[in-house]
Structure 1
Amino acid sequence: MVGTLAQGAMAQDAAPPAAPAVPQATATGLSADAIAFRDGLAHETAGLDETTRAAIDGFYASRDYRPFWNAGEGSPLATLEASVEQADAQGLPFFRYDADALQLLAGEPGMVGSPKLEVAATRTYIRFTGDLSAGIVRPLDIDPEINVKPKRATAAALLARLSDGSVSEVLRAAEPQDPDYRALMAEKERLEGLLGTDAWGAPVPAGPTLHVGESSPRVADLRARLARLGYGPDTAQAAVDDAAPAAVETAAAASAFDPGLEAEVKRFQKDNGLVDDGVAGRRTIDALNASPEDRLEQVVVNLERLRWMNHDLGARRIEVNIPDFSVVLLDHGNIPWSSRAVVGNAAETRTPEFSDEMTYMVVNPTWHIPDSIATRVYLPKLRKDPTVLARSNMRLFTRSGVEINPKLVNFNQYTAENFPFRVKQNPNSANALGRVKFMFPNQFSIYLHDTPHRELFVKDARAFSNGCIRLQEPIELAEVLLKGQVPDPQASIDGWLAAKSERYVYLDQPLPVYIMYRSAWADPDGTIQYRADIYGRDGEVFRALEAKGVSLPDAAQG
């Protein structure tokens, strides 16, 4: 802010009456008190890393080495302490920010305005604000397939924000602005109120699939569990006492799977990403039997995921949600296209989380089969029958591009380590990539594409691919992406498809693509949607959070 004696004097003239007067300045342009404060800062920050030390010194230099964290009601220090007190509400560990020690220090005589207290408060602010805005665990440290890269601001950048607004404004702005963040915080509070209670009642026992028209004690259990979760008539009262809903007056009626119960099963299924067929099978029962503790872990994990993605994602982008098996195109708050998706197989070829930019699409694509798939899927078949490739309209090539007749090769001599060939599948109706693929070149060789296997889209759990994202509505996406780029997108695409030759179509503007793993969020009506942890990543992230000090309330642990 200042660097000369004149500037220092001007700053003091403009300061509010409560600001301390600056004693006579020295030749450096700083008062004796400021020099003493600066030297005290140097002592208190001596053990910090150079970047943080320089950031703190730069912040106070911009203030002529005057204290920032004034004490008292409504002061910056009081605001910081009050915000940190609420760290747990956001799924962050309170103790991580040394708030108790800071409060004790502030209460010591003569500490307010001292370099010791200022450095302590500043360090708490830097860590807390950084965690709010970018999370507390590094995704790649959890799993190499979680290739998400939070944009954590530097200490200097975080401190610079204090010049632009009040502490409360800065801290609130640091939080993810996604509406889901506040919705999940509210859900976290609700779930914590259920821990250690019988609010959700007994789980539904394992057994055969339940259908409308059937009658059994398990149907009564199903009805009761749904009512406790808010599905069914008179559910508000059912959630707080053991009385059956008013519409169910007898044990016989409670045990009957009637159309009313079927409707509530469908509603629950829709809220949990299941096929809403009204049939209570294993996946539906598993979702019903999730405990408040299970859901609370999911909420805490997804709060952290929102912090990882707390930066400008672009007004126009594609989002893939792996556990929801869905893809959407967002365009300035609107959704002009969405699709069901098939994602990577959970056992062998899990789809990674990452982001990149889509730059082109390929109509009538050739499938250049990755080596991992060629050796895992096709090499065992070639050992038994060298004609297997021809029947699938595939061809075999050397690494230098020379086509080879598979009948002339002894495939028994090859393994995944020494397989010297490449396999390609020509464009055709049975091509594994279908009619079009959408490319955002990346280290994982993942892309979006069509598929001839349309039957998979009727399933609720759709983890069947080799890692890439198969789309139910790929042609519609191509048309939307080319709108404004060609006069008639539908006619252009129809013509390219009819030509049956491979065609590269480059986008005028690159389009960000985010492949995410969101297992809890709020729908437009405010209902919290939960999805099954198909890859076990919720568990991985929660264990990493626990290692940083995050924990559920005692009632959830005991």
Structure 2
Amino acid sequence: MLKAATIVLLLLLLFPACKNAQRGNDNVIARPVNTAHLKNTPLPIDASLLEEAPKNVQAFYAANGTTTLWTDKADRLALQEAINDIVTDGLMPSDYNIAYLKEFEALTAISEEECMRYDILMTESFGKLASHLFKGKLKPSGVYYDWALSPKKIEVNTLLTEALKDHSIKEVVARCRPRHVIYGSLRESLAYLNNLPDDKDIPQIKITKSVTLNDSTATVGIIKQRLAYWGDLDASASAGTIYDKATSKAVKKFQERHGIVADGSVNNRTADALNFSRNARKEQVIANLERWRWFPYDFGEKAIVVNIPNYRLAVVENNKDTVATYNVVVGKADRRSPVLHSVLSGLVLNPTWTVPPTYLRKDLTPAAIKDTAHFAHLNMKIYRGDKEIPVAEWDSLKPDHYVYVQSPGSHNSLGQIKFNFRNGFSVYLHDTNHREYFKKPYRALSSGCVRVQDPLKLAGYVLDKEDAGWTKEKLDELLATTDTQNVGLKKTTHVHQLYWTAWMDKGGLQFRNDIYSLDKMLYDKLRSQR
């Protein structure tokens, strides 16, 4: 056996650099051993490290031998790329541990325990990312009280098993995004807004009266700047302070993109829309992206889709073909039309109308207290239990002790036809006796139900699929009797009442008034919760 002195002498002869370094500095710096290969090596995971992990993560490792599984560097880097890419979805990479993942991957001197922690962190990050893309970062019930969509389900462990087996991390993550065309267009919208220059130096538009053709004021110059910024007016035409034809045409284009009556003049509504900052529009798009992640993955073979802020109903087939559109009236801001999914259960011809609690409290009772003749004016009957009572016996101090039913007829609030579908809000689609409302640009005017402008045409579409010999003539004949009749439906027609205030189509970026103030509330929660 070599003595210690002999070993030292041998090391000095074999490594003269060390010898020279020792002469200049008695403190020799030990170089860490490179153990990066451990990240590529299956290691048995200490059970104690999984105790604080989510249950789905524990189940994933239990099903896979409780060893490290992210042993392919390409998979680890692909996960980082997928996380970085979710900025296009309005989500934040920091929510998915991106900084820690990069630090772990950069380590060359890494312990086995650190490798285990790194592996668990990647599994948690993948699951969180896939889940958020598929069904949203937030729970709708934690944001809105009137949101009745069935929760979407995702098997993240099944997806991760596939992704690691096939080395298809990015592809599997991409599949979790909503497949609707509108979701893809919103991602494009966000990218477009991110690429726009800062608009903080463009002044706000302030008007006291509408700006119209041939007006010449300093305000016109600001209007042109904002129109050019949003791409509705060519930059070469943005000079000067005269409200010329080119400016009027650009305003019409802008108004069409914002659901405003396109008259070419700048009124308060148009000025407010022009004054929206780029960042405010980005927040709006990000809120809409999250809501789309909540929406149904599949609208169904045949569907009635209502976009509440756009006051429009579309009949959609096979998730993509719009076969008809209708103007609608939706709930007021204090009586919101709920977001929901259901299926048409039947039609009611010449319906009666039973007064709902909100209308009773806010409208019927105050009017009847002033003058009980209001009941007769509405052709309204009052019931206590099953017994009709005279108006003279009505107790104004206990209005909620009665049931109020409006008889069928031209005066009926539901009009000639009602479309029933099960829901927890007592709402439905229906005709109306106030058809003049459809001419108004602002149509959040109902007590929560959705009024359809041409309900008989919509009924014809629904009944045409029923194989029951329905014709327009037969429908007209039944309506003419003024008798209430229920028509059951056998074929499935889905009903989706949804809420989106931003999208992109062939007309460019589209924005609508956030009539229920849902966008800012959602954006703030998205950014405040991890």
TM-score (norm 1): 0.81
1:342 aligned partner: 329
User: Does the Cα contact within 8 Å between 1:343 and 1:468 map onto a contact in 2?
Assistant: yes
Worse-matched range after superposition: 101-110 or 274-283: 101-110
SS at match of 1:319: strand
SS at match of 2:413: coil
Note closer, same or farther for the CA distance 1:214–1:335 as it changes in structure 2 (3 Å cut).
Answer: same
Following superposition, the deviation at residue 446 of structure 1 comes to 1.2
Structure 2: which amino acid aligns with 1:88?
Answer: V
SS at match of 2:491: strand
Q: In structure 1, what is the Cα distance between the partners aligned to 2:481 and 2:296? A: 44
2:87 aligned partner: 88
User: Does the Cα contact within 8 Å between 2:346 and 2:419 map onto a contact in 1?
Assistant: yes
Structure 2: which amino acid aligns with 1:219?
Answer: V
Q: In structure 2, what is the Cα distance between the partners aligned to 1:537 and 1:198? A: 25
- Of 25, 33, 42, the match for 2:47: 42
Q: In structure 1, what is the Cα distance between the partners aligned to 2:386 and 2:167? A: 62
Q: In structure 2, what is the Cα distance between the partners aligned to 1:465 and 1:349? A: 8
1:269 aligned partner: 255
1:552 aligned partner: none
Q: In structure 1, what is the Cα distance between the partners aligned to 2:203 and 2:366? A: 49
Structure 1: which amino acid aligns with 2:174?
Answer: R
2:182 aligned partner: 180
- Answer yes or no: is 1:408 the counterpart of 2:401: no
Note closer, same or farther for the CA distance 1:216–1:103 as it changes in structure 2 (3 Å cut).
Answer: closer
Q: In structure 1, what is the Cα distance between the partners aligned to 2:408 and 2:158? A: 51
- Answer yes or no: is 1:545 the counterpart of 2:526: yes
Q: Deviations over 1:110-144 (max 9, x none)?
A: 56995433222111111111111111111110121
Q: In structure 1, what is the Cα distance between the partners aligned to 2:98 and 2:226? A: 41
1:130-529 correspondence runs (5 A): 130-162=131-163, 163=165, 166-194=168-196, 196-197=198-199, 201-232=202-233, 235=234, 238=235, 244-245=237-238, 251=240, 254-256=241-243, 258-309=244-295, 311-332=297-318, 333-346=320-333, 348-398=334-384, 400-411=385-396, 413-414=397-398, 419-485=400-466, 486-523=468-505, 525=506, 527-529=508-510
- Of 40, 56, 59, the match for 1:54: 59
Note closer, same or farther for the CA distance 1:134–1:99 as it changes in structure 2 (3 Å cut).
Answer: same
2:516 aligned partner: 535
User: Does the Cα contact within 8 Å between 2:214 and 2:242 map onto a contact in 1?
Assistant: no
User: Does the Cα contact within 8 Å between 1:431 and 1:452 map onto a contact in 2?
Assistant: yes
User: Does the Cα contact within 8 Å between 1:358 and 1:510 map onto a contact in 2?
Assistant: yes
Structure 1: which amino acid aligns with 2:186?
Answer: L
Following superposition, the deviation at residue 78 of structure 1 comes to 1.2
Following superposition, the deviation at residue 88 of structure 1 comes to 2.1
User: Does the Cα contact within 8 Å between 1:432 and 1:451 map onto a contact in 2?
Assistant: yes
Following superposition, the deviation at residue 215 of structure 1 comes to 4.1
1:103 aligned partner: 102
SS at match of 2:479: helix
Q: In structure 1, what is the Cα distance between the partners aligned to 2:205 and 2:335? A: 33
Q: In structure 1, what is the Cα distance between the partners aligned to 2:162 and 2:496? A: 28
Note closer, same or farther for the CA distance 1:428–1:111 as it changes in structure 2 (3 Å cut).
Answer: farther
User: Does the Cα contact within 8 Å between 1:191 and 1:292 map onto a contact in 2?
Assistant: yes
Worse-matched range after superposition: 158-167 or 41-50: 158-167
Gap regions ≥5 residues in structure 2: 1-37
1:15 aligned partner: none
Q: In structure 2, what is the Cα distance between the partners aligned to 1:213 and 1:474? A: 43
Structure 2: which amino acid aligns with 1:230?
Answer: G
Count of residues in Structure 1 that have an aligned counterpart in Structure 2: 486
Q: In structure 1, what is the Cα distance between the partners aligned to 2:158 and 2:421? A: 31
Q: In structure 2, what is the Cα distance between the partners aligned to 1:541 and 1:213? A: 42
Q: In structure 2, what is the Cα distance between the partners aligned to 1:191 and 1:106? A: 33
Note closer, same or farther for the CA distance 1:118–1:519 as it changes in structure 2 (3 Å cut).
Answer: same
SS at match of 1:104: helix
TM-score (norm 2): 0.86
Q: In structure 1, what is the Cα distance between the partners aligned to 2:218 and 2:115? A: 70
Structure 2: which amino acid aligns with 1:366?
Answer: T
Q: Deviations over 1:476-514 (max 9, x none)?
A: 110111113233431221111111111111222232211
User: Does the Cα contact within 8 Å between 1:325 and 1:342 map onto a contact in 2?
Assistant: yes
Q: Deviations over 1:302-338 (max 9, x none)?
A: 1111211262232321211111111111012222221
Q: Deviations over 1:384-417 (max 9, x none)?
A: 222211122111111x111111023342x335xx
User: Does the Cα contact within 8 Å between 1:479 and 1:489 map onto a contact in 2?
Assistant: yes
Worse-matched range after superposition: 361-370 or 259-268: 259-268
Q: Deviations over 1:338-397 (max 9, x none)?
A: 111111111x21112121221111111100111321232111222222221112211111
Q: Deviations over 1:24-75 (max 9, x none)?
A: xxxxxxxxx98x62xx1533312224343123322x24xxx66532343xx1
Note closer, same or farther for the CA distance 1:189–1:393 as it changes in structure 2 (3 Å cut).
Answer: same
Q: Deviations over 1:137-169 (max 9, x none)?
A: 111101212334441424434434435772121
Following superposition, the deviation at residue 261 of structure 1 comes to 3.1
User: Does the Cα contact within 8 Å between 1:434 and 1:450 map onto a contact in 2?
Assistant: yes
Q: Which protein shows a greater Rg?
A: 2
SS at match of 1:338: strand
SS at match of 1:508: coil
Q: In structure 2, what is the Cα distance between the partners aligned to 1:386 and 1:141? A: 42
Q: In structure 2, what is the Cα distance between the partners aligned to 1:318 and 1:111? A: 58
Q: In structure 2, what is the Cα distance between the partners aligned to 1:195 and 1:306? A: 27
Structure 1: which amino acid aligns with 2:193?
Answer: L
User: Does the Cα contact within 8 Å between 1:329 and 1:336 map onto a contact in 2?
Assistant: yes
User: Does the Cα contact within 8 Å between 2:189 and 2:503 map onto a contact in 1?
Assistant: no
Q: In structure 2, what is the Cα distance between the partners aligned to 1:269 and 1:519? A: 14
Following superposition, the deviation at residue 213 of structure 1 comes to 5.0
User: Does the Cα contact within 8 Å between 1:41 and 1:57 map onto a contact in 2?
Assistant: no
Gap regions ≥5 residues in structure 1: 1-19, 21-32, 550-558
Note closer, same or farther for the CA distance 1:145–1:508 as it changes in structure 2 (3 Å cut).
Answer: same
Structure 2: which amino acid aligns with 1:489?
Answer: T
Identity %: 28
Give RMSD over aligned pairs: 2.4
SS at match of 2:147: coil
Note closer, same or farther for the CA distance 1:305–1:164 as it changes in structure 2 (3 Å cut).
Answer: farther
User: Does the Cα contact within 8 Å between 1:97 and 1:127 map onto a contact in 2?
Assistant: yes
Structure 2: which amino acid aligns with 1:87?
Answer: I
